[in-house]
Amino acid sequence: MEKHPHYEKIEKAIRYICENYQEQPSLSFLAHLVDMTPHHFQKTFSMWSGVSPKKFCQYITLNQAKEKLESGRKSLLQTTYDIGLSSPSRLHDLFLSAEGMTPGQFKDKGEGLLINYSLQESPFGKIVVASTDIGICSLFFASESEALPYLRKQFPKALLKKREVDLHGEAVQIFDKDWIKEEKLKLHLQGTPFQLKVWECLLKIPMGAFVSYGDIAEKLGNKNASRAVGSAVGKNPIGYLIPCHRVIQKNGNIGGFLWGVEKKREILAWEFSKLDEEQ
């Protein structure tokens, strides 16, 4: 995706809002923070996110999460499936399909696999996208210097090559407003059978919806497996495409996130703004 000319400034403003949303920072303050005039900042921010800085700040509050969770129609996983199939939002289950690695590949920690990876841009900072000849096997928020060590930890015996392939560009198209694709984007997942089931459940959560760990456990037929579900969610190897950021605690609290709670708030706020724009 093409980098916005004021990408770093908008990213800095978003990070500040995420960390200080309770203060409801003013337009003039945020503009001064990134060395822009209020008018220019308002225009640039709105072009990037689809909403004003003030509205974005409102989205970031935990009350938004609680209201969504407590609204009834968003509280159960099955309900979100039903809503998702008729929602105008881009839905993960409509364009993503998942295939697990063979037992041998899983046991041998990727031995014999060629994995290409590249650094890409997202609305939330730099991401690393990695793929096998079958599909996307890893996506995470990181700098270039962090990419190889992270992938080596995931796939200690695979052949890792820094090379951008078409699949990487297709993966980040999900962030574009006009994303339309007829073919499914394939994911190549390395995980236990239980983890694969949890990740497949996550693929069904549409933008703007929330589920709890308990909802997923119940969907899998074991309502007492919330802790195991939480562990599987925390080991999700493909950030954003498998939307683990849409899983929150039953009481409405935002819950944890591998890349930090503020990053999770930032992503959810961006999604809320896009959903409003579509509707």
Token look-up 């990070």 returns 15
> Which listed residue (18, 137, 201, 244) is catalytic?
244
Which token pair is 62? 């935990």
Closest CA relative to residue 194, chosen from 155, 156, 233, 224: 233
Is residue 244 part of the annotated active site? The answer reads yes
Closest CA relative to residue 154, chosen from 182, 121, 113, 198: 113
Active-site residues, by number, are 244
